[in-house]
Structure 1
């Protein structure tokens, strides 16, 4: 396709230090989400996340850094011939783009914890996996920050990825990644992120541009389908999840109020919840209510 070959020409020019001059007739659409930005405006389905501005340390708030770097990265992408927008915490329903990247920064009680990490949802899909790879490789190469391989459930289960369970999410066929740029609670990471904001943004934009150039002419294969016939919402906080349909089984996790899950099996009084990772989690029926996703 023409737009992708032109993008490749632009990317090569950027990497060689030349100013991009070519522009596709139908440029790729890139959406950067500034993590926690305007979180007070999140819809009711994500009310549990309202007011969260992320990590903070050394007088730096995560949300402010996210907004700054997301807008800088979007400017680079637009200069290279793409359409690029910055979204707040709220994602329009079923939002489609050629790439979606949520930008965040980490925090930890252990001030020695440092490094960046990139992940996509639990759903196995080549497009999102490639986006993670290109973004992580370019970010590591350009910033020199170490990579933290401790990917969390909150990253893989990021709310904006969960198109089968909520309305205000990206569409299933939008390649997506979440980037934790480094630890604000680590003095070395924080100093780099604060004093090299433009370079960090440039690294993010380059990683996304590299991904866009890998798109096959025939488009990406469709992602695996999500089970939608039986969706439930958790009614209470700290609801125990078990590895079998009964309280005699091991308690292996907890669910929070308003979290949603697809049900793949039912036993009397119990429901087995769907996880892309293959983990088996059972919840008692009375702890949930049925939900219909438009």
Structure 2
């Protein structure tokens, strides 16, 4: 199967990044969100990212314009009828994802692959909401998408070999390194990453160290590019809580219990960079 048109559901941080790398690889992209203001904001971020590459001499102005010209923005989900593969990058909430996949299943032609960028929800549960479970797969990009090379490719039990191979080939075409993960809550990346972040939050909660010291230990002692608390702010504390809740409920192991401090921050609206405050405080974006 040849993929020429790539659909993306959600023009936020993840969806916009996925749309950018897909268009940069030569694919025609349909970028969807529920309102004009959201797709406009997504395109503004994509344009700014590409302009930085132009300013650094990594991209020509003509190449930038060509990439932008391959992205079509829509607010009507019915536009996905033209896509060969659709990647959903909506909020990390089961009911939202289930509803999107049910709609896509009725809109898209039989050959279309339906992929989810979910960071923790089992793909089999999503596939069960469609009449094409063999064409449902996980395609989990890392944040920030234009920079990070990894894509986790997650097969549900009914995912066909063809669907898996098309998805892997597509990840490579987009300049990514695919890694296969089995369909368990959190897959590989977040099964390892989120307990580390959660333990760092417990260290803060229990007074083992202050936020700067905790992050310094992991940055300079473990050679991590960013400390776990700063990384949690980048991911979004609400997303971290959603992933940990999925791990805790799905695996039934108390080691995945979200730290009460994380839950408290989310309930207070301190979600990290996107809200201006998390474990650190951030200046409003211009």
Fold similarity call, TM over 0.5: no
Rg comparison, structure with higher value: 1
* TM-score, length-scaled by structure 2: 0.27
* TM-score, length-scaled by structure 1: 0.27
More helix by share: 2
More strand by share: 1
- The structure, 1 or 2, with the larger RCO (C-alpha pairs under 8 Å, 6+ apart) is 1
